[in-house]
Amino acid sequence: MKRIARLRRDTGMATAEYAVGILAAVAFAGLLLKVVTSAKVQSALTGLVERALG
């Protein structure tokens, strides 16, 4: 009986769950890249760096 319980234990993610997790991470990275490469954000980051160095 203990062996069956051990085999049925759900530890970790299955392959499909890994795939969904990876897709979500890639989608988030794409969205973040889109935001960071926008003109407004680049301008703000440039200004921040210039103030920090100057």
Note the pLDDT tens digit of each residue in 1-21. Answer: 667 666 666 666 678 888 899
SS3 38: coil
Rounded CA-CA distance 22/28 in Å is 10
Q: Which pair of structure tokens corresponds to residue 30?
A: 């794409």
CA angle 40, 45, 49 (to 5 degrees): 150
The arithmetic mean of pLDDT across residues 20-45, rounded, is: 94
Question: What's the whole-number mean pLDDT along residues 37-53?
Answer: 94
> Phi, psi at residue 51, to the nearest 5°?
-65, -35
The dihedral formed by the CA atoms of 41, 46, 48 and 49, expressed in degrees to the nearest 10 = 140
The arithmetic mean of pLDDT across residues 26-42, rounded, is 94
Per-residue confidence at 51, pLDDT binned at 50, 70, 90? very high
pLDDT in the model for residue 43: 94
Distance CA 34, CA 51 (A): 24
